[in-house]
A and B are shown apart, each in its own frame.
Chain A
Amino acid sequence: MNPAAGLAYACNARVLGPAALRAARLYAERQARGGAGRSPHLAPPLRIAPRCKEMVARHWLEGRHAQGVRKVAWVTSGAPVEFLTALGFYLLYPENHAAICGTARVAVDLATAAEEAGYSRDLCSYVRTDLGSLFSGRTPVGRLPRPDLLLACTNICQTVLFWYRVLAEHFGVPLVIVDTPFVYGEEAPPHALQYVGTQIDEAVAVAEKVAGRALSAQSFERVATRSRRATELWLEILQRNRHMPAPISAFDQFVLMAPIVELRGQAATVDLYAAMLREVDERIRRGMASVREEKYRVLWDNLPIWYRLRAVAELLAERRIAVVASTYTNAWGELAPYLDPARPRESMIRAYTYPILNRGTGHKLHIMQGMIDDYHLDGVILHSDRSCKPYSLGQMDQRERLSGSLKRPALLLEADHNDMRCYADEQAATRLAAFAEMLEAQR
């Protein structure tokens, strides 16, 4: 470890920074108690939201000072990371970073920097945002640590394969690919699972080499146990929305999901979600609804529109529409049954082969049908996300089935998760208003 970097890390990431973030959290909590900035149609954010934000901010703060102190791995959001956490890596999720940029509405500026470097506007806006950040050195999180290792898992898209090739070229560090064959049918064939297993073994070997130490079985199990527990808790939180009225909205979930993505093997994440579940239960006991006069309950499919989270939430809430479930946030809970801490390697193979994005369009319809029943849903909003083809392809047929045999109004909303240039406020408002009318007519 570099002594100067170590000292900076200890001071900034462990003492001063956390103190500042704690102060910011206390301030936010006080503001929230005062009801600042509340919508008349929406419940206030969960009381635990500032704590969640603090935890995520600490993670990024730590990253800012991690270089030379901890080994850093940049990983895709669906990557098998439990062994990396067990080996002590600091994990950075470029997709989460891009989402932060989207929420902060700096994504287009950054994407432009990537476009100027020759990257087409037809490429995923997460990629353009992150590459733009890399090329320009600008980021809302202060500074991104240089990776020692890159890990890309194709279980969310093929885009990450190309994206991480660009990163590998840029940084000149090892890239490990975990290629998860797409599951067209009900089950992945045995040879596909074996192929994934071999790659995970190879990934562990590379990670051990970069970390300079061997993976301890005990640590691996401990991390897998926490991952499983956090994932279970997350799923429980989501499933509390089966209650009518729903205690939290999918828009809340989009913000609160950051730790389950980027910090899921950590003890603090388990504690956070346990406390979150208690608060959600308390809301249910008190009859508190995420949308004050919930009348319609709908499902959100695909990634959120990060730069319009609040606007869309309010627009729907005004019409008494509560978005109570989402296939996207649900994807992080679906992992739970697969993760077996006693058999971390074997269970990881299945857990990371079966995410919703690595399965067929019929499977996703099946998941949506199940959610419609379980969450008592009146309709579905399918965000046709120009930047996410694996998620979006199939939506037109899914919409047909949902509104046909299932008799649930389904709206295809054209947008992009990070690129505001692909979103027209007026047009979206008109489409959402029409959707509200369809819900009304269906009643």
Chain B
Amino acid sequence: MGALPAIAPRAEVIRHHRQQGGQVAAVLPVYAPRALLRAYGFLPVEVWGPPGVRTSDGASHLQPYVCSIVRNALSFLLSGGLDSTDLILVPHACDSLQGLGSILLDFVKPRQPVVPLYFPRSDGAGAQGFLAEELRRLATRMGEITSRAPAADEILQYVVDEETGDRLLLELHEARRQLPLTNADFYRLIRSREYLPREAFETAARQALTMRQPDAAPARTLLLSGVVPEPTSLMAALDERQVQIVADDTLCGRRRVCPPGRSSDPFERLSQSWLGGPPDSTRGSSLAARSNYLVSRVKASGARGVVFHMVKFCEPELFYLPSLRKALQREGVPSVVLEVDLNDALSQQVLTRLDALLEMIP
């Protein structure tokens, strides 16, 4: 295996950005208009939980049947984990994130401004214009917070630059089989896009892409679907078993890498880009579109099996699961569902299920 390019840890990146006079936006899942945030001087730092926080703070606001991503995010905020951020962006991805955004605005009222962002679920004629207008309103709000007023051309340049970052991210995904990286390192690399400035991510990505070798994947290959690959000990477990994840379909990964937009208006362009993204549960895509996409990813990557790594109580993902598994079954692709809570260590039960899947892969 090769050595992963140096990637600065999250805390250091945030500290450095702030030292340079920049502001930091905590961005909740799933989709964030990174370019727009950058145009207003914010470094977007995504908050997928994080795992292992003290959940008692959030437990006084949220019922136990709310997923650990949302529960942990609130706990993290309440325990001071987001103190170094200047804005909290809450994209509307599901009922739980909707509830969290509302509770933050109406009851918790943190020091940082909380800005919700609604993504359209309709694929009708009005969706693009609606999202573009949502983004314009977000820009206005950020202008009020930062007193900045970047021109449309300037914002467009950020959009185009971030598209380059996304292109490289996509290239990493596509080149996975040729990259001599452990699963743990590969995910550390692609997930650094969640907090690194685009420029730093591009440097790391380009460096990794130079490491390409002719198909470096071992015989046992998997596609990883689900929400977010936490706890990361799953990656170590796969590495130990000499299994490579050759394709990613997680909500925090490949599934939200959108193609570039076409418009010269930055807001329309961002909207076009999002609407052109891969089929996804939180968008409410059709079951057929989602299944076809997944099967095509399996075929293109040569994955021999699929792991659905589900965060408990994630309703959007749970709805699609039976259809996806059926579609894979039709193709003769074995799959397994591993249900986790971000606060739990990787259990023996989960490993046993994983091993059972691996036994089915010749």
Contact = CB atoms under 8 A, between A and B. Distances in A.
Q: Do A and B come from one complex?
A: yes
Interface of A: 117-120, 122-124, 154, 157-159, 161-163, 165-166, 168-169, 177-179, 181-182, 184-185, 189, 191-192, 194-195, 198-199, 202, 360-363, 365, 384, 386, 389-390, 392-397, 400-401, 414
Nearest to B95: A389
B60 to A, nearest CB: 6
Of A159, A360, A365, most buried by chain B (CB within 10 Å of CB) is A360
Contacts of A401: 107
A178 B316 CA distance: 18
Interface of B: 60-63, 65-66, 92, 94-96, 98-103, 105-108, 116, 118, 120-127, 129-130, 133-134, 137, 281, 284-288, 312-313, 315-316, 318-323, 325-326
Contacts of A199: 122, 124, 126
Given A179-B121, A384-B63, A390 B319 contact: no
B98 A122 contact: no
Contact of A118 (B95, B281, B322): B322
A397 B121 contact: no
A48 B287 CA distance: 44
Contacts of B326: 118
19 contacts: A119-B322, A122-B313, A123-B315, A158-B94, A158-B98, A161-B284, A169-B288, A177-B284, A178-B122, A182-B118, A191-B133, A194-B130, A199-B122, A361-B106, A384-B63, A389-B66, A389-B315, A393-B62, A393-B63
Contacts of A384: 63
Given A384-B63, A390-B98, A163 B126 contact: no
Given A118-B321, A165-B319, A393-B102, A157 B107 contact: no
B120 A397 contact: no
A158 B124 contact: no
A123 B318 contact: yes
A393 B99 contact: yes
Contacts of B108: 397
Given A120-B321, A386-B65, A169 B286 contact: yes
A181 B118 contact: yes
A187 to B, nearest CB: 13
A162 B105 contact: no
The 7 closest A-B pairs by CB, nearest first: A393-B99, A362-B106, A118-B322, A198-B126, A162-B319, A191-B133, A397-B107
Contact of A122 (B105, B123, B315): B315
B121 A161 contact: yes
Nearest to A412: B63
A389 B137 CA distance: 27
A159 B281 CA distance: 11
Contacts of A158: 94-95, 98, 121, 284, 315-316
A396 B122 contact: no
Contacts of B63: 384, 386, 392-393, 395-396, 414
B267 to A, nearest CB: 11
A162 B63 CA distance: 22
Nearest to B65: A386
A195 B127 contact: yes
Contacts of B316: 158, 162
A266 B95 CA distance: 32
A15 to B, nearest CB: 41
A142 B284 CA distance: 31
Contacts of B134: 181, 191
A123 B95 CA distance: 12
Contacts of A165: 284-287, 319
A166 B62 contact: no
B120 A179 contact: yes
Contact of A394 (B107, B130, B137, B285): B107
Contacts of B107: 361-362, 394, 397, 400-401
B318 A182 contact: no
Nearest to B321: A118
Contact of A393 (B100, B322, B325): B100
Given A179-B120, A389-B65, 5 more contacts: A199-B124, A365-B106, A390-B98, A392-B63, A394-B102
Nearest to A384: B63
B110 to A, nearest CB: 14
A69 to B, nearest CB: 29
Nearest to A121: B318
Contact of B105 (A177, A184, A191, A389): A184
A195 B126 contact: yes
B325 to A, nearest CB: 6
B304 to A, nearest CB: 22
Given A120-B318, A194-B126, A162 B281 contact: yes
A159 B95 contact: yes
Contacts of A400: 107
Of B126, B285, B312, B322, most buried by chain A (CB within 10 Å of CB) is B126
Contacts of A360: 102, 105-106
Contact of B96 (A120, A182, A202, A393): A393
B126 A393 contact: no
Given A158-B98, A181-B130, A202 B284 contact: no
A394 B94 CA distance: 15
Nearest to A122: B313
B316 to A, nearest CB: 6
A177 B60 CA distance: 35
B99 A361 contact: yes
A393 B95 contact: yes
A153 B100 CA distance: 21
